Chains A and B, each alone.
Chain A
């Protein structure tokens, strides 16, 4: 079991995602990368940044970064740790989180709308991954 928002967790997540055929099928034409930002609050004393690169149904990279200038991703989703936890454990729908302003999306929403199932499979994969939470 790995702690959420650590490099160990990222490695396990990338491996799990690449084994998830439902995700790879839903995302087979997807091209785009993300920063997931964990805002200060709760157990998070400094902001954390997870970079994930998704391309044609393959996760090409998933890493924690400290210098955000390392990548210029197409999308950024930012939320407090507790919100990420609720999304990852499927207590909160990712779309609902954005609509209710519990998380914030930067990027082309229209492109995201084409891939709602792929987005949900990202969450399904997270839910299935044994995860240690910091609170």
Chain B
């Protein structure tokens, strides 16, 4: 177990170092997030719909798109010079490969969200100061679920035709239940309602994370088998 985690960390660090030295992907993802938020601003009639009514949807649609963009990249890195083959023959377990990729993706998406959230607050004038802690908690809860499924699918799709197109098509139906939950919880938080009103949704989000993290860990070896 300790060994698996250590290998996973080595792998994640490799990906992250690569990412933050080239900075192309992360910068594109951040700029993309800002642009989506801008599109939302002009995609509504400000005199008819108050920003606060749309805020939870705007936040989550933006994060979903940004996460999907980030996920495509994870295994594409390994296609050059057949790096994936090298990774597979390395004396590390398949589980550590999955967890390493998962961790790197989580950090990547978290950075994008960390930039996206303040921009969202700024652009739409959303009062989050009082609920920042719980809001970040919900974002983390939903993001783990998104990225767990997304990392598994991107491993599988990287060698198929039209990978960039296939990933959203396969992934979006899986993102809907956590997305529904995240939007509901965010809406209650922004309306300063107690979290007990959305206890069901929170349980759903937590259960989703547990189920899909376990499932993805178990299924991942089958997606890279030769």
> Is B truly associated with A?
no
A residues with CB within 8 A of B: none
B residues with CB within 8 A of A: none
